[in-house]
Homo-oligomer: A and B are copies of this chain.
Amino acid sequence: MALRHAILAALSRGRPRTGYDLNASFNDVNDRAWHASPSQVYSELAKMEKLGLIDITERTERGRTSYVINDSGLDELRRWLLHDQPDHGIRDDAALRLLNLWVLDPADADYLLDAEVTFQRQRQFSLRHLLLSWDEEREDPDSPVWRSRRALYTLWLRQTDLMLDWLEELRTMLHDPVSPVPELLTGAIPAKI
């Protein structure tokens, strides 16, 4: 149940947030580590409030409800980090597709490659924007919260760069049946670790 911890993580930044706010970040492909659907977020917030992990700070005459994390929630976040095993189970739809391009004819494979390149370029653009615009919008750019966040954006940006290079090599490989498979960037490969 990592959604619970993703919500605690988002609230641990301090300011009260509504289900709507949280959904905005959980649904932005470019600025998130965890995806969730709106209905899931609303029902999980209700559950968490009942369990006493988060508190309601404000409920406007209109439906808008704001939540903050409380001490019990922070304890749970720390417990999760330290005592629950990280889940390295991979479910990578994009990789699964790229692995199967060879069942298509070359024109179709190329079309799918283009689509993936486009997606990665958009992500690259968004991440660059997020990294460049932090100082204008955010509260304290030198707080641990934002330092961590910027570090993660940097990782993601490097990953999109890597992916875009690799996709071009893959395209070459698919076009030319005798070209070598993309080689390693790494130098000598030790026989043992």
In the docked arrangement, what's the CA distance between A147 and B99, Å?
Answer: 9
A48 interfacial contact with B, CB 8 Å? no
A39 interfacial contact with B, CB 8 Å? no
Contacts of A104 in B (CB 8 A): 78, 81-82
Contacts of A183 in B (CB 8 A): 154
| In the complex with contacts A78-B103, A154-B184, A5-B96 CB distance below 8 A | yes
Q: Indicate if the CB atoms of B32 and A90 lie closer than 8 Å.
A: yes
A23 interfacial contact with B, CB 8 Å? no
Q: DSSP class of A's interface residues: helix, strand, loop or mixed? A: helix
Q: Indicate if the CB atoms of B154 and A2 lie closer than 8 Å.
A: no
- Residues of chain A at interface, number, CB under 8 A: 74
Listed residue (A9, A91, A161, A166) with the most chain B CB atoms within 10 angstroms of its CB: A91
A173 interfacial contact with B, CB 8 Å? yes
Listed residue (A74, A115, A155, A166) with the most chain B CB atoms within 10 angstroms of its CB: A155
In the docked arrangement, what's the CA distance between A91 and B5, Å?
Answer: 12
| In the complex with contacts A77-B103, A116-B86, A92-B33 CB distance below 8 A | yes
A:86-127 near B, CB below 8 Å: 86-104, 108, 111-112, 115-116, 119, 121, 124-125
Q: Indicate if the CB atoms of B181 and A147 lie closer than 8 Å.
A: yes
In the docked arrangement, what's the CA distance between A181 and B150, Å?
Answer: 7
Which residue of the partner chain, among B2, B92, B166, contacts A34 with CB atoms under 8 Å?
B92
Q: Indicate if the CB atoms of A158 and B154 lie closer than 8 Å.
A: no
A43 interfacial contact with B, CB 8 Å? no
Which residue of the partner chain, among B86, B112, B148, contacts A99 with CB atoms under 8 Å?
B148
In the docked arrangement, what's the CA distance between A128 and B12, Å?
Answer: 39
